[in-house]
Structure 1
């Protein structure tokens, strides 16, 4: 299958590597041009292209860019064939994305994304830290394999997204509809806590929606205090210990 990825950040780079390794035909673009994507991203295959090329002739398009940039690329997404599966990996962080009034008022993040793009999306890979995603993938059946929740309204999109999650080295857990995907947003018990497939359903069920924003902001403050900036990503050990203490 042909996969286009918009975004070559921490998550996007790992998606290129792992999906190429599994045999997908992968191309990736960022906002600065293909020449700015380093060759280390393509050790397993894949190629750097322009944004226009990334959305052309693909079966699957994965969006791995800051949430506040999604309205900019919405016209390109709207032109995709109806059967192209679009997967959203984004999360809302008001300090980075600026305040989005509809989300602050209670709209679920990926429902907002779907509305901006004017088409269905699946939500996946948003609830795992970039260091865990890059280093902790395991073969199917491994007792320490981490699970990633996947939410979607469209059943085909759900099946495709879950298959891709499995192919990146993680168990996919059906997390329900997009309206329910707040349960995997920042601040929730499954968010960057590296749970197994057996643990995820209970964590989803225990999520308390009203508490998510405050928990998210506490985690951000702790990470920034430790790292001293907003660009570096914490290692898996620190982030998982922190988020389990705050979110579970």
Structure 2
């Protein structure tokens, strides 16, 4: 194994892996697909149209993943990651995700989503909007605050001195624990930051957005959020 492979390899775990589906075949979606494949998961991935439209992208950027439809991703996956532009969240096949764990890796970008007051309201996190649209699913925020280059280059074995952390947030304790184990398996330290309401600390506008930090520093940044300009603005709005 090369030094690069050793750095990227997650800790060894021979337990069976579920099928993970990704809705969104952009930069974040294909990076996450690569991380999951390296960790031994089976990966299904869908874009916004026919599978043939993303098949070449998937073959090149995430070889081993299967390009399919959004409905098939929702039906066949044990865990589904949302990596779509946030403005398209209402296109998600909600009924097919009933009873499933859904990881929300989406962010609001006005350049992509347009100016949307509902997606930029400090009184509510965007993951709360997603959970409201997916009432039968268990939504956990994760993988949204770290840039895709850092995600791609960041996986390290458990206990590595230079391992980075991923903030996670959710309302269901069991789902948070599942996602924490999931994050660890793909090569990062999970750092719970609170409920979906609290997940605004991971959104664009927060000093934590873009954070590529070890776990202790990420926890410190979460603790310091209320004293930041964004933290004060959120507190005043709420």
- TM tier relative to shorter chain: 0.7 to 0.9
Distance 1:209 1:104, change over 3 A: farther
Where in structure 1 do 4 or more consecutive aligned residues deviate above 4 Å?
A: none
Distance 1:148 1:128 in 2: 7
SS at match of 1:199: helix
* Corresponding pairs, count: 210
1:14 to 31, 35, 47: 31
Distance 1:117 1:99 in 2: 23
> Is residue 58 of structure 2 the alignment partner of residue 58 of structure 1?
no
Distance 1:12 1:104 in 2: 23
**More deviation in 157-166 or 204-213?**
204-213
Distance 2:132 2:98 in 1: 17
Distance 1:210 1:112, change over 3 A: farther
Distance 1:189 1:33, change over 3 A: same
Supply the RMSD in Å over aligned alpha carbons.
Answer: 2.0
State the Cα deviation string for residues 178-236 of structure 1 (Å, max 9, x = none): 111111111223221211001111101111488339x9xxxxxxxxxxxxxxxxxxxxx
Compare relative contact order (CA 8 Å, sep 6+) and give the higher one, 1 or 2: 2
Q: TM-score when scaled to structure 2?
A: 0.81
Query: Where in structure 1 are there 5+ consecutive unaligned residues?
Result: 216-248
Distance 1:133 1:166 in 2: 13
1:28 to 22, 45, 59: 45
2:115 to 87, 99, 102: 99
Q: TM-score when scaled to structure 1?
A: 0.78
Partner of 2:216: 198
Distance 1:137 1:109 in 2: 26
